[in-house]
Amino acid sequence: MSEYFSNIKTSTTTIATGLAITLRHFFNAVKRKGDAGIDDADFFKQVDGLCTLQYPREVIPTPVNARYRLYNNIDDCIGCNQCDRACPVECITIETIKVTADDLAVCGKTSGGQQKRMWVPVFDIDVAKCMTCGICVSVCPTDCLVHSPVADFSEFDVKNMVYHFGNLSKIEAEAKKKKLELEKVAKAKAAEAAAASGAAPAPKPAPKPAPKPAGSEAGE
Amino acid sequence: MSSSPSLNTWSDALSGFTLGGFPLGLVIVAAIPLVFIALYALTYGVYGERKISAFMQDRLGPMEVGPWGILQTLADILKLLQKEDIVPTVADKFLFVIGPLIMFVGSFLAFAVLPFSPAFIGADLNVGLFYAVGIVSLEVVGILASGWGSNNKWALYGAIRSVAQIVSYEIPASIALLCGAMMAGSLSMQHFNVVQSGPYGFLHFFLFKNPIAWLPFIIYFISSLAETNRAPFDIPEAESELVAGFFTEYSGMKFAMFFLAEYGSMFMVSAVLSIVFLGGWASPLPNIGGLALNDMTNGPVWGAFWIITKGFFFIFVQMWLRWTLPRLRVDQLMYLCWKVLTPFAFIAFVLTAIWEIYM
């Protein structure tokens, strides 16, 4: 019987305690919880008040070293294609055109002083596919591909998630391609002319190996 | 039987109003509480619940639709109205359709006897309290019909739990209300208010006039939580166990009916509690010397203000409890009803009887 009454007493006091806690929170709802970060000494002292962040209107700034949306500084890009090969989800698409000898000066150098030898008409990053693993950043030889702190870049159309970083327009790219063809033709002609004038002919490339006989496949 | 003919002049005048032989006044009198409760339940009950729960959990609640989200409920209603009204193919169609209707009607039938002010009462029955207690039991039929008709294990579980719970908690609730009836000497809802109004305001309320009245007051409050399926007695819904309990299969307006019925009965039990123990429409302010606060704050309009304020206060307490306490287990629920509330209700009953006879 004493347990019966002690149960009633316990439930009454615990309910009262719980109600007091919720009521305190209810009246504290006129205040906002402080915005002390986790590294502040008084982080655990600021437990009173609303903690809702009305996101699009109120934002916690992303740290400057945050790694979110990829950004390519195309002026430093040498078109080496390493990021494309490293990407596990194949979100980077690169097309390159070799720079003709007379254009080397126009194409310029990277900020590190390295001569750029490739035009990069297409450098597309599909950030919808990107999983921010950072492998492309780590392989980039000129450090031009980085994760920027931009975290909110949602779009209504998934096509808009493809970011274009190429440094040539389509017309310019066509022109550069033609120029490269012309240079190749000119070089070939020069080589022919050199061969005709009696110089030693260039060694022929080794013949490709013949297709394997059918017998070896049958053994598999 | 009207126990306060002088106070009923307003409602008599309104009831007598006819337009070309059509008793328009009677329709208006009946419509006032329903319109009020529909407005309350549809907008401010749901909105209040969401805001109060949010504030108690350090959140903001709805904020986007209108300033501070006050139009959120209207947007929700628009959404519910547009939704497809799905009836599962294997459900018992008749029971499935009739369930929410019974529940909706059942929860609003009790409003007929709630005196909203000295002048506004749908029907001043001489068995008003008995009617209010009895008609609420109709909800059980609706719950069982919808739970059984859904042909869904969760719905059936919820319905069975709900019926067991409501039928059990009717007993301590009724005994507790009987204590109030003994103190008033009548079952008429209007009479409860008349005997509890007086120049000393809240001192005339049974809760303060009678030293035992707090016991049936608390017992009825706890039982009313169980009868309206509110937390901590929300085991018929039990989101974490039964998906949504007896209305798992419902969508669109049928779901809205359950919602409306729940908020309707929340106000109903709060109003009954305040009528029986806290004077209903009687003003709690006393006359202090020459300052006749009580006389100033009594009257048909003030009466509506007081009863709605008292009702809202208890709705707030219900919500407060809901966002504080975890759900009871089924056996704990039955333990509380049969081993705690019912014996204490009987003790309160006997003590009240002794008090009424000898004091």
Q: What is the pLDDT of residues A74-111, one digit of tens each?
A: 888 888 888 889 999 989 999 888 888 788 888 888 88
The pLDDT value recorded for residue A204 is 56
Q: Which of the listed ranges B32-46, B58-72, B234-248 does the model predict with the highest average pLDDT? A: B58-72
Instruction: Identify the pLDDT of residue B7.
Output: 46
Arithmetic mean of pLDDT, B333-344: 89
**pLDDT tens digit sequence for B267-286:** 888 888 988 888 878 777 77
At A203, the pLDDT band (50, 70, 90 cuts) reads low
The candidate with the shortest Cα–Cα distance to B224, out of B344, B346, B341, is: B341
Binary contact (B56, A52; C-beta < 8 A)? no
B323–chain A Cβ distance below 8 A for any pair: yes
Q: Which residues of B touch A49 (CB under 8 A)?
A: 58
Most B CBs within 10 Å: which of A4, A22, A27, A50, as the mutation test of the B interface? A22
Q: Could you read off the pLDDT of B111-151 as tens digits, one per residue? A: 878 887 776 676 777 888 888 888 888 888 888 888 888 88
pLDDT of residue A215: 47
Q: CA nearest A116: which of A66, A61, A161, A167?
A: A167
From residue B216, alpha-carbon distances to A131, B157, B233, B308 in Å are 63, 31, 19, 22
* Interatomic CA distance for residues A93 and A70, integer angstroms: 13
For chain B, what percent of residues have pLDDT higher than 90? 5
State the CATH class of domain A70-171: alpha beta
Nearest-Cα distance to chain A for B70, in Å, is: 16
Confidence of residue A220 (pLDDT cuts 50, 70, 90): very low
What is Dmax (Cα atoms) for chain B? 71
What per-residue confidence (pLDDT) applies to A16?
92
In this complex, do B63 and A8 lie within 8 Å of one another by their Cβ atoms?
no
Of chain A, the percentage scoring pLDDT greater than 90 comes to 7
Is the preceding peptide bond at B115 cis, omega within 30 degrees of 0?
no
Better pLDDT: A20 or A48? A20
CB contact under 8 A, A26 and B52: yes
**Averaged over A130-135, what is the pLDDT?**
89
Look at chain A and count its residues.
220
**Residue A219 confidence (pLDDT):** 42
Q: What is the pLDDT of residue B3?
A: 45
Task: List the single residue in B55, B339, B340 with the smallest CB-CB distance to A25.
Answer: B55
What is the spatial distance between Cα B149 and Cα B96, in angstroms, rounded to a whole number? 5
Residues B117 and B304 sit within 8 Å (Cβ to Cβ): yes
Q: Is the pLDDT of residue B359 over 50?
A: yes
- Residue B325, chain A, CB below 8 Å: the answer is yes
pLDDT at A213: 52
Is A23 within 8 Å of chain B by CB? yes
Chain A residue with minimal CA distance to B317? Answer: A19
| pLDDT tens digits, one per residue of B246-265 | 888 888 888 888 888 888 88
Average pLDDT over every residue of B32-39: 68
What's the mean per-residue pLDDT of chain A? 82
Query: Domain-by-domain residue ranges, chain A?
Result: 2-45, 70-171
| Residue ranges of domains in chain B | 87-358
Q: What's the pTM?
A: 0.73
Check CB contact under 8 Å for B58 and A18: no
Per residue in B97-107, pLDDT (tens digit) is 888 888 888 88
